[in-house]
Homo-oligomer: A and B are copies of this chain.
């Protein structure tokens, strides 16, 4: 296990298929056969990914019919909180990958009634963040290990080059 929340997230999530399954569950494709049809994924592969996502606490199975018993899949709270991250990744794709016919999917914010671009911002001042205005620093859980052998040193070095700032939450 890599000692970084990004790699831990990736490990937890599984692979790209699982992200597309999470997308589908969010968009209302919740049944096994529909997921097979929509994704063009083999039944075996889908079954193993759903087990992984369930064990990871991202997806849960819910019974929607008693006789015969039938199940559908839903996102858990952790799964739901992945969706804004996928929205941000989708916006990146709209900007850097998608063809000139425009965005396949738009997001409307219910509270402000606008079509918006998902953006990643600072929880304190609400301004968008980018590589130039963020300094990464070692946190309390920082350890060296596979995947992070050199990171402590590099992050330290990078932070020392930056203006020291007081910590707050």
Contact = CB atoms under 8 A, between A and B. Distances in A.
This chain: how many copies in the complex?
A: 2
A79 to B, nearest CB: 9
A85 B87 CA distance: 9
Given A40-B147, A103-B140, A94 B135 contact: no
Nearest to A135: B108
Contacts of A23: 4, 6-7
Contacts of A70: none
22 contacts: A5-B91, A5-B94, A5-B103, A5-B104, A6-B19, A9-B89, A10-B89, A12-B93, A28-B154, A28-B157, A81-B130, A83-B131, A105-B136, A108-B136, A108-B137, A110-B163, A110-B165, A111-B122, A114-B125, A116-B169, A118-B120, A120-B120
